[in-house]
Structure 1
Amino acid sequence: MKAEIIAVGTELLLGQIVNTNAQFLSRECAALGVDMYFQTVVGDNKQRLLDSFKLAVSRADVVICTGGLGPTQDDLTKDVLAAFVGRELIVHEPSMKTITDMFQSRGIHMVESNRRQAMMIEGSDPLHNETGLAVGVAFTYEGTHFILLPGPPKEMKPMFTKYAAPWLRTRMTDEVPLYSKMLKFAGIGESNLEHQLLDLIEAQTDPTIAPYAKESEVTIRLTTRAQTASDGERKLQVTELEIRKRLGEHLYADEDVPIETIVLQLLGEKNQTLAVAESCTGGLLSDLITAVPGSSQSFLGGIICYSNALKHKLLGVPMEVLEGEGSPGAVSSETATLLAEQLITLAGSDFGLSVTGVAGPSPSEGKPVGLVYIGFAQKEAATRVITLQLSGNRESIKQRAAKSALYHLWKQLKDS
């Protein structure tokens, strides 16, 4: 069964909001065994929306629309689709009651346009909206299944999961669900990772192997079709084991999570704590860590010691190390070591992690852009420093430095 998403809304075309609905729906359809072949974004325009419907029915078995179900005159999805299939719009009375009751309870006059949210296409099945007012619609027209969902994700997601997906499932025949597994890697680039797996990628049939990357992390998606989750896991296992054998030192998770999540899990399992000192990353490392729920159990805090004065005043790095002719300088292995070690003393943490370097755009202390030192101090262990020469613009260097620090800390935690 082939599917197409039509996302309706001029705000999407203008880039005012991001179309996260398509990502969610594609993932959910794959789990059902429905292949997502096309995604279309169309503005609030009758003719262009009509053209989108005509094209979709020529190439898809399932057309899922998001957006355009609201009360205003530019919410056109139901109107245009009703005209396209030659059916009337009728009032869904339970939805109409919900709308009128809400306005009455708030003591607000309901304008006539709000009735539009209770309209449904004649002969369709209503899809209950648990978190909003606009009723969804599902029906079949000349062999094509149409599903109309609201645009706001907080309304769209529960409507699809609880009502649209079961409706669609009853109309499916021999579709076999897709099962995917995400393998997450750090400390290795996409091209290097692909090179080490090239023979597997070129010979792939089932499961399929798809690498893709974002800043400082690489993901491998393994995908197969199977009738049950256990069968899917069994089919993926052989390929996964081979990938682990080749790239185990970089594989930090078998689920789609960032490396900071795994670092905090390991710290929690070991009942250990972490503090950080950041110069060139300017708080980015702390931000990544504290974005993980429950991070306060293991993360004691961070110091952004951007200037030499604060490196000296807050963490006791001698000025003769930071400045002066013949000194190592702020961007040095010596400074990274002292920052990390002083953190343990100051914070009482089990680990002290420091980052100092040149993020750019210009060299500093006569040292090149992208030169970064990462210090790792641990109670009752020798401090070590990792030297990196990173490429990219200022933001990329900061991101890569922070992620590299987490990767090397993960390795240290994993091996200890």
Structure 2
Amino acid sequence: MKAEIIAVGTELLMGQIANTNAQYLSSGLAEIGIGVYFHTVVGDNVGRIKEALAIAKSRADLIICTGGLGPTQDDLTKDVLAEVLGWPLVIHQPSMDKMTEFFANRGVPMVESNIKQAQMLEGSTPLANETGLAVGNALTQDGTHYIVLPGPPREMKPMFEHEVKLWLQARIENLLPLHSIILKFAGIGESLLEHRLIDLIDGQTDPTIAPYAKEGEVAIRLTTRATGPEDAAQRLRPLEAEIRSRVGEFIYADQDVTLEEFIVRKLGDEGRTLAVAESCTGGQLSDLLTAVAGGSGAFVGGVISYTNEIKRQVLGVPAELLEGEGAPGAVSRETACAMAECVMELCGADYGLSVTGVAGPAELEGKPVGLVYVGVAVRGQAVTAVELRISGNRPTIKLRASKSALYQLWQRLKS
């Protein structure tokens, strides 16, 4: 079963609103065993909607249209579909009665154009709109299933959950829901991860392997079709074990959480605390940590020590490390160690994490852009620091340095 979602609305093409309906529907269809192969966005134009429907008919068994069911002249979806399929439009009386009552209760006259919202393709299955006025439609012609849904998510979502899912499950045999697990990685890039798993990716059938990445994070989604969670686990377990045997040292979670979420929760569960000292990241590391809801029990605070004066006066970094003949300087392994240890003591935390480096655009202390040092202090243990060479522009270096600092902390937490 191949599905295509057609989102109708010029406002989508102009970027005035985001096409969140396609994301929601793709996820919901996967849950009942239907794969979405194509997303299409088309404007409020009769010719282009016809063309989109024709293309979808040539490559999909299920076509879901969202949007274009309102009362205005540019709400064309039902009219165009009726013309393409040769099915006349008729009034769905329960929807008409609901609309009449709605306007009467508001004391507002119902204009003739509102009647469009109560129209349906004759012979189709009406889909009740719990939160709006436009009735949806579901029908099958020549082996292709068509579903028409309203565009506003508050109307579309309940219609899909309470009407569409049941309609599809009653008409499509042997639907096996998709089940997935997520493996999250740190300390390894997408290209290297793919290289180590390339034979598994090239030879995939069921289960499937889908690597994806965003800045500072890499994940793999393993997916299979199964009758239930136990069957899915049995199918996924051998592939997961093989992946762990190859790159298990980089896996920090088997759920879709960020590295900062994982660290904050782990520290919280173990009753331990963290403080950070930042220079080149300018507070971005603290921002990542404080974005985790309920993280105040683990992250106690930090210092943005952007200048040498603050490093000395607030953190207590020795002056001889920062300036003077023979001093390693602010951007150095020694200063990273001192910053981590000082902030740990200053805040009374169990861990201290520091970042100092050159985010650009120019060199600093004669040191190149992208040179970063991360320090990790653990109470009762020797403080350590690592040197990193990070590429990118200034915002990219700041983010990658922050994520790299979290990775170094995770490495210490593991040990």
TM-score (norm 1): 0.90
Q: Which amino acid aligns with 1:29?
A: L
**Residue aligning to 1:256:** 256
Once residues 296 and 104 of structure 1 are traced to their aligned partners in structure 2, the CA distance between those partners, rounded to angstroms, is 52
- Deviation (angstroms), 1:179: 2.4
- Deviation (angstroms), 1:99: 5.1
Once residues 341 and 306 of structure 1 are traced to their aligned partners in structure 2, the CA distance between those partners, rounded to angstroms, is 17
Once residues 310 and 189 of structure 2 are traced to their aligned partners in structure 1, the CA distance between those partners, rounded to angstroms, is 34
**Residue aligning to 1:45:** 45
> 1:10-21 maps to which residues of 2 (within 5 A)?
10-21=10-21
Q: SS of 1:44's equivalent?
A: coil
**Residue aligning to 2:152:** 152
Distance 1:337 1:15, change over 3 A: same
Deviations 1:65-121 (A, max 9, x none): 122223433222222222222334444455455556666666666655445444433
Q: Which amino acid aligns with 2:352?
A: G
Q: Please state if 1:206 is matched with 2:215.
A: no
Q: SS of 2:78's equivalent?
A: helix
- Deviation (angstroms), 1:36: 1.9
> 1:161-310 maps to which residues of 2 (within 5 A)?
161-310=161-310
8 A Cα contact 2:268 2:295, kept in partner:
no
Deviations 1:264-294 (A, max 9, x none): 2211210112222222222222222222222
- Deviation (angstroms), 1:4: 0.8
Distance 1:35 1:323, change over 3 A: same
8 A Cα contact 2:210 2:220, kept in partner:
yes
Once residues 321 and 108 of structure 1 are traced to their aligned partners in structure 2, the CA distance between those partners, rounded to angstroms, is 76
Once residues 164 and 351 of structure 2 are traced to their aligned partners in structure 1, the CA distance between those partners, rounded to angstroms, is 49
Distance 1:395 1:118, change over 3 A: farther
- Deviation (angstroms), 1:320: 4.2
Once residues 88 and 314 of structure 2 are traced to their aligned partners in structure 1, the CA distance between those partners, rounded to angstroms, is 72
Q: SS of 1:58's equivalent?
A: helix
Once residues 297 and 109 of structure 2 are traced to their aligned partners in structure 1, the CA distance between those partners, rounded to angstroms, is 50
| Residue-pair matches, total | 415
Once residues 114 and 275 of structure 1 are traced to their aligned partners in structure 2, the CA distance between those partners, rounded to angstroms, is 60
Moved more, 329-338 or 12-21: 12-21
Unaligned 5+ segments in structure 2 are none
Once residues 414 and 118 of structure 1 are traced to their aligned partners in structure 2, the CA distance between those partners, rounded to angstroms, is 60
Deviations 1:13-56 (A, max 9, x none): 23333323323322322232223222211111111001111222
Q: SS of 1:248's equivalent?
A: helix
Moved more, 156-165 or 179-188: 156-165
Once residues 310 and 133 of structure 1 are traced to their aligned partners in structure 2, the CA distance between those partners, rounded to angstroms, is 61
Unaligned 5+ segments in structure 1 are none
Deviations 1:351-388 (A, max 9, x none): 22221111222222211111111121222222211221
- Deviation (angstroms), 1:263: 1.1
**Residue aligning to 1:403:** 403
Once residues 74 and 369 of structure 2 are traced to their aligned partners in structure 1, the CA distance between those partners, rounded to angstroms, is 51
Once residues 358 and 303 of structure 2 are traced to their aligned partners in structure 1, the CA distance between those partners, rounded to angstroms, is 18
* CA RMSD in angstroms, aligned pairs only: 2.5
Moved more, 261-270 or 326-335: 326-335
Q: Which amino acid aligns with 1:149?
A: L
8 A Cα contact 1:344 1:377, kept in partner:
yes
Q: SS of 1:5's equivalent?
A: strand
Q: Which amino acid aligns with 2:367?
A: K
Q: Which amino acid aligns with 1:62?
A: L
- Deviation (angstroms), 1:237: 0.4
**Residue aligning to 2:328:** 328
Distance 1:291 1:114, change over 3 A: farther
8 A Cα contact 2:276 2:344, kept in partner:
no
**Residue aligning to 2:341:** 341
8 A Cα contact 1:10 1:42, kept in partner:
yes
Once residues 399 and 162 of structure 2 are traced to their aligned partners in structure 1, the CA distance between those partners, rounded to angstroms, is 38
Distance 1:157 1:47, change over 3 A: same
8 A Cα contact 2:26 2:36, kept in partner:
yes
TM-score (norm 2): 0.90
8 A Cα contact 2:374 2:405, kept in partner:
yes
**Residue aligning to 1:65:** 65
Q: Which amino acid aligns with 2:191?
A: S
Once residues 97 and 276 of structure 1 are traced to their aligned partners in structure 2, the CA distance between those partners, rounded to angstroms, is 63
Once residues 106 and 303 of structure 2 are traced to their aligned partners in structure 1, the CA distance between those partners, rounded to angstroms, is 49
Deviations 1:147-196 (A, max 9, x none): 22233334433332232122111111123333222211110012221222
- Deviation (angstroms), 1:339: 2.2
Once residues 99 and 386 of structure 2 are traced to their aligned partners in structure 1, the CA distance between those partners, rounded to angstroms, is 61
Moved more, 326-335 or 265-274: 326-335
8 A Cα contact 1:266 1:414, kept in partner:
no
Q: SS of 2:184's equivalent?
A: strand
**Residue aligning to 1:143:** 143
Once residues 291 and 260 of structure 1 are traced to their aligned partners in structure 2, the CA distance between those partners, rounded to angstroms, is 9
